[in-house]
């Protein structure tokens, strides 16, 4: 712990801290561009100059390049240092176009701040400014090269940190610029981070372009609802419209960045078809009337047909508070049917993971410290993009990555990939437990032997598995393998990628040993007559939608709380409009058991953009905000249960009733969050059979998650639409040849759900004898929900007439 003196103030900092960070610890503002906590320091911008008066280093030095040491005496206000800084910033400004009024960075522009801090206010250089031609970088990033001050932070973010390859430095001497070789979309799923990394307006958010000034935004710390990692975000809204999301800082989870799905998936909040009106038997009703009717009818149902006739189904995007109140409602009715996932395999996998994870839980920060990562049955880019970024940081620090997965996985780092069929994954896991390689083929044996040796040698190994592909059995084996691989010196960490933002919390609250599929049987038989859906859609999110649709038709009462235009919301007898994450406060538990709170960002309402239809806002006075009826699900449930409707009281109530959630009472949105682990009620049903990749008349079909189109909320977000593309299937090159198909061919896919037209993509890096279908909402493929049992399909080439 070196102790040094900066500006006559003493500070003690951890070993390895640089002097710039030490100065920041004292709240001294030092101009800097190239230093970034996540990216490190390179000492290229020459802006953090300080005068080192005494100690091991002396003279004018770049503070970010000097490690803090004992006995250092540093002055940041030294005349020489101040003068150097002011000259550097003046040089940086010589070619800047001075177009701040039309630049979206204005308000959070580091260059503006640093120019003011550096004291440069009047241009002395009268030579001409350099100009550049901009590139078209796709739907997310707007480029304005003239503003560049060549700090290289974009390169260090995009290439070094995020592992993108289609972006680089061009030119030489004073012609340097940054971009793609050719125009085109930036392919990295983390491209949006360029916006935050760029200290000025070279890379700005194209979706947010000219929508608002950042100082006008209503912002609050929130949690990303698009996967189970629980990244911290700061959404910003204005005029009743959510307009952008920027990463929040949580050093345990996402660090400083977020993926493009989290950044551009916010728009479901503003979806034009979002249901905002309560409905009672097909008629518009007030929320209060609908709530009263829901409570009353559920009570009647219980009185007439017993508590078993009512089922309560939450979802993975239900906040913990709403989930706990739903559980309370179920408890009061006496109903044993309480689930938080309609997808059977995800439900079981989540519960098993939550039950057994314990201290093996591994945050993304800890993942970055691992030296060996085994990714089995998970495509991180689709199921938890920021975990892929954490894996990359581990690799940059020297870690090895082994991937065992049927998919052609694109990690932003180097890895050893074993493309095997999905049915082989449990076999591999078994082998990891038993170390007996008899069940393996010859081709599989050697890599696995090598892997076992690596695992034994590794100091901080981590196993990553996805709920979709591994299923409950696989997740269980994954945990077995972790136990088997433990040794005295270190535990093996496990990361399970779950179905949704609060899958973990839902699993903690689940009380029924059954899963939704067996409930569907009960509905079919008429034993369950009423279903309360909390932000869940059994019509579509369920593993077997067709069967569910048929059964749900027999329901006498369907109550739905939701904020998206889904089928359950449309067909509900009683519909109650709830609010998405950005419009309410609440909390989620992420896939490692971390309880995190989020705050309300905006009030609900139809945006001024819509009410004014592009022109100025309506010229009328009104006390009512259009479309402001939705309420937080927990508030409505509290009303049903006659509990106080404010969040602190509800949290207090939940914590009192269930001591696992003690931390809720003091939780704030800006803390990293405590971990919650606890045994849960395990499912009693047998896992599904995995697809068998064997040659035959029909082909096994494996629906998987995609980066953009398979998350329901992300699908409802207009900015992400360009990423969804058309329905696609992936085939192994050899299989494609055998089927007479080639890359980009149009084919006709026949499944038990019907026919659909797909584009063929081929890859040599995937399992043979398998048709991979990235799930895509809103297309013919939306019925093919990822995860689950064996489906056969046929594939025929379509001939263009």
Partner 1 sequence: MGLWRDIKGTLQPFWVTLGYLFKKPATIQYPEEKRTPPPRYRARIVLTRDPDGNERCVACHLCSAACPVDCISMQAAETEDGRRYAAWFRINFTRCIFCGFCAEACPTMAIQMTPDYEICDRDPLNLLHEKQDLLIDGCGKDEEYNFYRHSGIGVVNPRGGNADETPPVDPKALVP
Q: How far is the CB of 117 from partner 1 (least distance, A)?
A: 19
Q: How far is the CB of 133 from partner 1 (least distance, A)?
A: 5
Closest CA to 117 of 34, 31, 19: 31
The footprint of partner 1 on residues 251-310 (CB under 8 A) is none
First and final CA of the chain: distance in angstroms?
Answer: 75
How many residues sit close enough to partner 1 to count as binding (CB under 8 A)? 41
The footprint of partner 1 on residues 590-609 (CB under 8 A) is 608-609
By CB under 8 A, name the one of 130, 449, 570, 721 that touches partner 1. Answer: 130
- Identify which of residues 155 and 411 has a Cβ nearer to partner 1 in the complex: 155
Q: How far is the CB of 721 from partner 1 (least distance, A)?
A: 20
Distance in angstroms (rounded) separating the CA atoms of residues 99 and 82 = 26
Distance in angstroms (rounded) separating the CA atoms of residues 275 and 563 = 6
Q: How far is the CB of 11 from partner 1 (least distance, A)?
A: 35
- Alpha helix (H) residue ranges in 314-423: 320-333, 344-357, 364-367, 380-383, 385-396
Distance in angstroms (rounded) separating the CA atoms of residues 99 and 73 = 40
Site for partner 1 contains 15 (CB under 8 A): no
Q: How far is the CB of 239 from partner 1 (least distance, A)?
A: 8
Helix (H) or strand (E) holding 733: helix 733-739
Q: How far is the CB of 619 from partner 1 (least distance, A)?
A: 6
By CB under 8 A, name the one of 10, 14, 77, 129 that touches partner 1. Answer: 129
Site for partner 1 contains 171 (CB under 8 A): yes
Site for partner 1 contains 102 (CB under 8 A): yes
Judging by beta carbons within 10 Å of its beta carbon (0-12, 13-18, 19+), is residue 59 exposed, middle or buried? exposed
Q: How far is the CB of 97 from partner 1 (least distance, A)?
A: 4
Site for partner 1 contains 116 (CB under 8 A): no
- Alpha helix (H) residue ranges in 503-607: 503-509, 516-525, 545-552, 567-571
Coil/strand/helix, residue 218:
strand
Q: How far is the CB of 563 from partner 1 (least distance, A)?
A: 25
Q: How far is the CB of 267 from partner 1 (least distance, A)?
A: 18
Site for partner 1 contains 619 (CB under 8 A): yes
Asked if residue 593 lies in contact with residue 354, where contact means CB atoms within 8 angstroms, the answer is: yes
Distance in angstroms (rounded) separating the CA atoms of residues 699 and 791 = 8
By CB under 8 A, name the one of 79, 438, 615, 642 that touches partner 1. Answer: 615
- Identify which of residues 146 and 193 has a Cβ nearer to partner 1 in the complex: 146
Q: How far is the CB of 501 from partner 1 (least distance, A)?
A: 32
**Window of 172-180, 183-191, 521-529, 658-666 that interacts with partner 1 by CB under 8 A:** 172-180
Distance in angstroms (rounded) separating the CA atoms of residues 260 and 751 = 32
Phi/psi at 151 (nearest 5 deg)? Answer: -90, -10
- Identify which of residues 171 and 752 has a Cβ nearer to partner 1 in the complex: 171
Q: How far is the CB of 112 from partner 1 (least distance, A)?
A: 12
* Beta-carbon contacts of residue 436 (< 8 Å; ≥ 6 apart): none
By CB under 8 A, name the one of 175, 182, 623, 801 that touches partner 1. Answer: 175
**Window of 93-101, 310-318, 372-380, 542-550 that interacts with partner 1 by CB under 8 A:** 93-101
Site for partner 1 contains 122 (CB under 8 A): no
β-bridge pairing 586-589 and 595-598: antiparallel
Distance in angstroms (rounded) separating the CA atoms of residues 605 and 325 = 25
Site for partner 1 contains 124 (CB under 8 A): no
By CB under 8 A, name the one of 177, 364, 633, 702 that touches partner 1. Answer: 177
The footprint of partner 1 on residues 139-158 (CB under 8 A) is 144, 146
Q: How far is the CB of 158 from partner 1 (least distance, A)?
A: 17
The footprint of partner 1 on residues 182-241 (CB under 8 A) is 209-213, 215-216, 239
- Identify which of residues 212 and 762 has a Cβ nearer to partner 1 in the complex: 212
Site for partner 1 contains 98 (CB under 8 A): yes
DSSP letter for 647, please.
H
Closest CA to 581 of 316, 193, 212, 278: 316
Beta strands in 153-265 (DSSP E): 168-170, 177-179, 203-205, 218-219, 222-223, 232-238, 241-247
Site for partner 1 contains 613 (CB under 8 A): no
By CB under 8 A, name the one of 133, 686, 799, 801 that touches partner 1. Answer: 133
* Beta-carbon contacts of residue 55 (< 8 Å; ≥ 6 apart): 4, 69, 70, 71, 72, 73, 74
Q: Which residues pair with 704 in a beta bridge?
A: 774
Q: How far is the CB of 129 from partner 1 (least distance, A)?
A: 5
By CB under 8 A, name the one of 10, 54, 80, 99 that touches partner 1. Answer: 99
The contact pattern for partner 1, residues 718-737, with x = CB under 8 A and - = no contact, is --------------------
Phi/psi at 771 (nearest 5 deg)? Answer: -110, 115
Phi/psi at 40 (nearest 5 deg)? Answer: 85, -170
Closest CA to 54 of 73, 68, 69, 67: 73
Distance in angstroms (rounded) separating the CA atoms of residues 787 and 241 = 34
- Identify which of residues 175 and 436 has a Cβ nearer to partner 1 in the complex: 175
Residues that bind partner 1 (CB under 8 A): 97-102, 106, 126, 128-134, 144, 146, 170-173, 175-177, 209-213, 215-216, 239, 608-609, 612, 614-617, 619, 621
């Amino acid at each position: 712990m070196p102790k040094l003196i900066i500006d006559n103030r003493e500070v003690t900092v951890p070993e390895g801290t640089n002097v710039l960070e030490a100065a920041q610890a004292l709240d001294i503002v030092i101009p800097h561009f190239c230093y970034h906590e996540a990216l490190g320091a390179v000492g290229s911008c020459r802006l953090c100059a300080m005068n080192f008066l005494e100690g091991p280093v002396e003279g004018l030095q770049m503070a970010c390049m000097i490690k803090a040491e004992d006995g250092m005496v540093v002055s940041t206000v030294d005349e020489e240092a101040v003068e150097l800084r002011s000259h550097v910033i003046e040089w940086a400004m010589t070619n800047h176009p001075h177009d701040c009024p039309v630049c979206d960075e204005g308000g959070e522009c580091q260059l503006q701040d640093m120019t003011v801090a550096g004291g440069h206010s009047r241009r002395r250089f009268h030579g001409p400014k350099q100009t550049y031609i901009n590139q078209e970088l796709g739907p997310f990033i707007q480029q304005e090269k003239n503003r560049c001050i060549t700090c290289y932070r974009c390169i260090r973010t995009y290439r070094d940190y995020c592992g993108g390859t289609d972006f680089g430095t061009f030119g030489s001497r004073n012609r340097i610029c940054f971009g793609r070789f050719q125009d085109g979309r930036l392919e990295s799923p983390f491209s949006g981070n360029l916006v935050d990394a760029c200290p000025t307006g070279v890379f700005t958010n194209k979706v947010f372009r000219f929508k608002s000034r950042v100082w006008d935004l209503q912002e609050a710390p929130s949690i990303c609802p698009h996967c189970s990692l629980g990244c911290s975000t700061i959404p910003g809204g204005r005029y009743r419209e959510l307009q952008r999301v920027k990463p929040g800082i949580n050093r345990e989870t996402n660090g400083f960045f977020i993926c493009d799905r989290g950044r551009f998936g916010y728009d479901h909040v503003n979806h034009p078809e979002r249901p905002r009106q309560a409905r009672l038997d097909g008629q518009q009703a007030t929320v209060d009337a609908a709530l009263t009717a829901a409570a009353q009818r559920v009570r009647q149902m219980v009185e007439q047909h017993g508590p078993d006739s009512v089922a309560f189904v939450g979802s993975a995007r239900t906040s913990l508070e709403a989930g706990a109140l739903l559980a309370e409602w179920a408890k009061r009715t006496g109903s044993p049917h309480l689930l938080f996932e309609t997808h059977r395999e995800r439900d079981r996998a989540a519960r098993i993971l939550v039950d057994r994870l314990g201290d093996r839980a591994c945050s993304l920060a800890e993942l970055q410290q691992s030296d060996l990562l085994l990714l089995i049955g998970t495509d991180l880019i689709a199921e938890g993009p920021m975990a892929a970024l954490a894996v990359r940081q581990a690799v940059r620090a020297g870690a090895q990555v082994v991937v065992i997965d049927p998919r052609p996985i694109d990690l932003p780092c180097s890895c050893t990939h074993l493309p095997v069929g999905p049915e082989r994954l449990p076999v591999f896991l078994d082998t990891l437990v038993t170390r007996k390689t008899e069940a393996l083929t010859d081709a599989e044996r050697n890599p696995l032997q090598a892997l076992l040796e690596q695992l034994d040698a590794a100091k901080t190994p981590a196993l990553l598995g996805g709920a979709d592909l591994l299923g409950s059995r696989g997740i269980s084996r994954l945990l077995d393998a972790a136990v088997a691989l433990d040794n005295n010196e270190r535990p093996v960490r496990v990361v399970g990628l779950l179905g949704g933002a609060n899958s973990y919390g839902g699993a903690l609250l689940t009380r029924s040993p059954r899963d939704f599929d067996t409930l569907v049987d009960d509905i079919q038989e008429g034993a369950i007559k009423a279903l309360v859906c909390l932000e869940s859609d059994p019509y579509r999110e369920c593993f077997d939608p067709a069967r569910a649709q048929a059964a749900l038709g027999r329901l006498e009462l369907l109550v739905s709380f939701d904020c998206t235009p889904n089928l359950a919301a449309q067909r509900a007898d009683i519909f109650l409009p709830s609010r998405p994450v950005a419009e309410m406060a609440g909390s989620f538990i992420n896939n490692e058991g971390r309880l995190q709170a989020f705050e309300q960002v905006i009030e609900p309402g139809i945006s001024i953009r819509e009410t004014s239809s592009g022109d100025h806002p309506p010229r009328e006075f009104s006390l009512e905000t259009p479309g402001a009826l939705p309420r937080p699900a927990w508030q409505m449930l509290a009303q049903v249960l006659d509990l106080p409707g404010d969040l602190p009281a509800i949290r207090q109530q939940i914590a009192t009733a269930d001591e696992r959630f003690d931390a809720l009472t003091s939780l704030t949105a800006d803390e990293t969050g405590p971990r919650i682990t606890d045994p849960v009620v395990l499912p009693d049903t047998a896992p599904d059979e995995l697809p068998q990749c064997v040659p035959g008349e029909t082909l096994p079909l494996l629906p998987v998650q995609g980066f953009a189109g398979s998350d329901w909320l992300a699908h409802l977000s207009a900015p992400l639409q360009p990423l969804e593309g058309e329905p696609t299937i992936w085939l192994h090159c050899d299989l494609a040849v055998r089927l007479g198909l080639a890359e980009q061919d149009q084919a006709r896919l026949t499944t038990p759900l019907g026919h659909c037209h797909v584009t063929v993509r081929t890859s040599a890096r995937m399992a043979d004898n398998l048709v991979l279908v990235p799930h895509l909402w809103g297309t013919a493929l939306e019925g093919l929900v990822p995860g689950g049992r064996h489906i056969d399909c046929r594939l025929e080439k379509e001939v263009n007439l």
